[in-house]
Amino acid sequence: MKTKTSRRDFIRVSTAGTVGAFVLSQYAFKTAATPVPVTADTDPKTFGLALQLYTIRNAMRTDVPGSLKQVSDIGFKYLELAGYANGKFYGYEPAEFKKLVNDLGMEILSSHTQVEDKGITLENAKKMAEDHAKLDVKYCIQPWVVPEARKTLASYKSMVADWNKVGGIMKETGIMFGYHNHNFEFATVEGMIPFFDIMMVELDKDLVTMELDLFWTTKAGQNPIDIFNKYPGRFQLFHMKDMFTQEAPYFTTDGVTDFAPVGAGVINFKEILAAKDVAGMKYMIVEQDSTKDGKPFDAIKTSITNLITKILV
């Protein structure tokens, strides 16, 4: 989901594996087949878009209610969270945070979250499932793998085994567990590519879905459509994220700043979305890790405008 420094500052992750964005609902995609002209009076909320709150993380640290109101006023209907810790969401008890969101006319779809640093246990995974069930989320997503856990195939295999266990626990509460990729999963490790040779082979598709980040996948030199064709039905979530430049493939998140508002860069979202049924996509989730000018609210306004006037019509 993120660059290394910002991710570590924002969320703790497990070296053993653990249980970033706009979301476009299935309804919006169905209506996109017969699009209604967008006018000045069109309510963006009717498109069912949502924001990954990591995009406005600094604002969320200082003013949760005010930041959420701005998101609602811009026109987002759904949220993906990135602020769960110690049983709370952005410092609020689950019921309190859910009410805050619902009172603004929004709903919580998903959450990027983690287990304890000591590794996965049945107890902490169950606690996370119970807390997220109080929000009525559909998904909990593992968003990151620390560098020391990416060095061996054995480590990747251990993480995948743990994620399958978490998926089973989450399923008991009606939540689908998932994994959000970056570009490092496509690097060669001991002669194999972890994304293809371990994750897609050993993850239980009934317990763990994939949240494919289109930015990081493309930066790794991969074509998302080829991946959908190879593993149909495995990608319930897309992270829509644009980039300003085409570059040679690379496999590090360090120092990356090439993030663009959706539709303002070089990724062909229409072409990718044409393969959404093959992918098994249910929700489209887009985020922007950082902005060139430090104005994330302006960036998300650009993204929502491009989505409803260019990409989904």
Residue in the block written with tokens 């706009």: 22
Task: Provide the CATH number for the domain formed by 4-311 in this structure.
Answer: 3.20.20.150
**What integer is the mean pLDDT of 122-139?**
92
Tens digits of residue pLDDT in 237-264: 999 899 999 999 999 999 999 999 999 9
pLDDT of residue 30: 42
pTM for the whole thing?
Answer: 0.88
Alpha-carbon distances, residue 75 vs 103, 137, 252, 291 (angstroms): 14, 20, 34, 20
| CB proximity list for 35: less than 8 A, separation 6 or greater | 312, 313
Sorting pLDDT into bands at 50, 70 and 90, what band is 39? confident
Alpha helices in 11-56 (DSSP H): 26-32
Tens digits of residue pLDDT in 142-194: 999 989 999 999 999 999 999 999 999 999 999 999 999 999 999 999 999 99
**What integer is the mean pLDDT of 18-31?**
39
Q: Which of 280, 276, 286, 279 is nearest to 306 (CA)?
A: 286
Residue in the block written with tokens 């040679």: 248
> Residue 59 corresponds to which amino acid?
A
